[in-house]
Structure 1
Amino acid sequence: MIRGAALVVLLALAGDVAAQDEETLEPAPGAALEDPDFRVRSRQFGLERRVEMYQWRSDADSYRRVWNAAWIDSSGFAPGHVNPPGLPLPGERWWARDARIDGKPIAPEVLRALGHWQVFRPNFSRLPGNLAATFQPDGDGLSSSENPLDPRVGDLRVAWSELVLPPLEGKVELRDGRWQLSSQARDAIAAGALPDPATQSAPLIAPTLLQRLWPWGLGALVLLLLWLGRRRRRRAKHRAGHRATDHNGGHANPSNRDGSP
């Protein structure tokens, strides 16, 4: 019983140490990024502000109003279909400058080549007063429309995305003191597709503690299973003895029911 409990504790401790070992190798973005206009912050590897304006667009012989990220020149449009002279607020991107893995800097090309953008809803509690008077929450972002369901030409809507990194095993390697794209990743980018990290033979770092200790852990697991099986068989034998006693009227030996020797 004590040995079995000790094995369970050993496996749990090995898992905790391995988890801590892996955590130290996770890429860290460094200082938070901030949109200086809206004071929106992100603690990921990049921050993107996307701006769209409600504008007139010419489709063949008709006009329709659309949300568009680029300014649409309406100088040749029919009267009554005039767009503002330009976007008053540009879209922008900010990149992490001190991203690191295990204390070593990550080359900017790694972020641009491997990262992907995902939408997030920021906290607008730090919105400057002038923008708070102009914009209101709309979905995951902000809109300047008085009624977001009925926008007018010239209205703006703004949304933000964060840059996150996928698992980097096999995609980066430490060269000249910096984490840079591996040759495999460069070939995959040139081919238009990244390889599955699970198929890469060259690991990002040295084997983790869990990988180094797995034979010992497997042996401990086998011993634990054998001990549990032996315990289960003893319990089954004990229950079978109780059932036999109950069936014989509470006597352990059925031949002694008449009191004869």
Structure 2
Amino acid sequence: MNRHLRIGTQALLLRGGGAVLLIAGLGLAAVTERSLLAHHLAAVRHGGDVVQADSRGPQPGQHGSMVLVSGTPAVIEAPHDAQFNLTVATPVLDRHVEMFQWREVHVGSDVHYELDWSDQLQDTRRFEQPRGHANPRVMPLRSARFVAGKVQVGGFTLGPLLVHALPGAETVAPDPSRLPANLAASFSLYHDYLTTSVDPGSPHLGDVRVSWQAVPLQPVTILARLDGDRLVRASQADDQGFQVQVGVRSLGDLLPDVPDPPEFTTARRSGAIALAALGAFLLLWERRRRLGDVVLALAVGVTAIGAVSCASWLGGDWRPVLDWLAVTAAGVLVVVVLHRRMGRA
């Protein structure tokens, strides 16, 4: 009697433990896949799933994905201001031209005129009192923007939109010795700009000054879609389709509304299958077919985890649904084959 009671108690414990392990495996799988689904749905609003890139540049299988990469921009083809013979290793170089002119200033009902630097031509014909405040009719030079032919971050080439989006500006001091002869006769260096003023501290009407600003080479983090070997805007995104920030940033810094994906996804999935398989093995303990039951339990675990994972992705991306559906079908097939063989044995 005691022996039968002990055997019954042992069987009950094995079944209970097997059920607990099976449920734990199913729960781990469900939590993992639902977390991945939540990350995926949030990331889709900004262009799609994100690949954490390193400094090796584009890798196979990344085309079309959103790529998060950090690094200091590398200027492969520097911009060149041919008119002033100025080349700077920067993603974007801006030339800023100003002329010393009369400006009309309105303060309430009063109007007065003052000489000041302006990058726009002040049209004297529109002044209320044009007499004595005549300005030159044309700007002798124009402001301009020069963009690098090729810029890379972490081995990824930036598309034109991303190059223009790189933040920051710093003044570039020109080298007068490199000026063409026609401009060297008119311009001289004063502080960090070139000027036609004989006395830069006391400019005269019509004097011109030219300065340059460049985007600094500083660490940045970029999130954009990979098209071939270039990072571009994701046209299907709900927002602007890319992010550019100074410094090394995480995905949460750039997209705070996107939850982080679960870590060690492969290990969590393998652990879920192992728990479910061990639980199934304990439930099959009384069959006493040890070798066959190990394979059968593993197939049951794969089938159960595949079914739960497939169901967890419903309403999300169809690819994981189909992948897990294939895993489930394979598990069911193995279970049926093994069950029939064991039945005949």
Corresponding residue for residue 113 of structure 1: 165
CA contact (8 A) 2:73 2:219 kept: no
CA distance 1:130–1:150, shift in 2 (3 Å): same
Task: Give the match for residue 137 of structure 2.
Answer: 85
Deviations 1:149-191 (A, max 9, x none): 11111000000111235533353453332123576983687xx
Looking at structure 1, the residues matched to 56 and 216 of structure 2 have their Cα atoms a distance apart, in angstroms, of 16
* 1:180/1:50 CA distance change after superposition, 3 Å: same
Pick aligned residue for 1:33 from 79, 92, 102 = 79
Matched, 1:149 2:198: no
Mapping 1:2-151, distance limit 5 Å: 26-60=72-106, 61-75=111-125, 76=127, 77-151=129-203
More displaced stretch, 99-108 vs 63-72: 99-108
Bigger drift between 38-47 and 161-170 goes to 161-170
Supply the AA of the counterpart residue of 2:249.
A
Question: Percent identity at matched positions?
Answer: 29
What pairs with 1:189-204 in structure 2 (closer than 5 Å)? 197-201=248-252
Give the Cα–Cα distance (whole angstroms) in 2 for the partners of residues 111 and 92 of structure 1: 16
If the length of structure 2 is used for normalisation, what is the TM-score?
Answer: 0.46
Report the residue type matching 2:114 in the other structure. Answer: R
* Aligned AA (1:65): L
Unmatched runs of 5 consecutive residues or more in structure 1: 1-20, 204-261
Structure 1 SS opposite 2:99? strand
Question: Cα–Cα, structure 1 residues 26 and 163, in superposed 2: closer, same or farther, change >3 Å?
Answer: closer
Structure 1 residue 22 displacement after superposition: 5.9
Are the equivalent residues in 2 in contact too, given 1:171–1:181 (CA < 8 A)?
Answer: no
Distance in 2 (alpha carbons) for counterparts of 1:178 and 1:135: 40
Change (3 A) 1:201 1:115: same
Residue number in structure 2 paired with 1:186:
240
Offset from partner CA, 1:59-117 (integer Å, 9 cap, x none): 13211011000000011333111000021100000101222235542101111123332
> 2:142 is matched by which residue type in structure 1?
P
Q: Distance in 2 between matches of 1:161 and 1:120?
A: 5
**Equivalent pairs, count:** 180
1:198 offset after TM fit, Å?
3.0
1-side partners of 2:115 and 2:246: how far apart?
42
Change (3 A) 1:168 1:179: farther
Which of 140, 159, 177 does residue 229 from structure 2 map onto?
A: 177
* Equivalent residue number for residue 269 of structure 2: none
Gaps of 5+ in 2: 1-53, 58-70, 255-345
Q: What is the deviation of 1:123?
A: 2.1
More deviation, 33-42/162-171: 162-171
- Distance change in 2, residues 1:145/1:104 (3 Å): same
8 Å CA contact retained: 2:157, 2:229: yes
Aligned partner of 1:186: which letter?
Q
Q: Kindly name which structure, 1 or 2, has the bigger radius of gyration based on alpha carbons.
A: 2
For residues 84 and 97 of structure 1, the distance between their equivalents in structure 2, rounded to whole angstroms, comes to 36
Q: CA RMSD in A?
A: 3.1
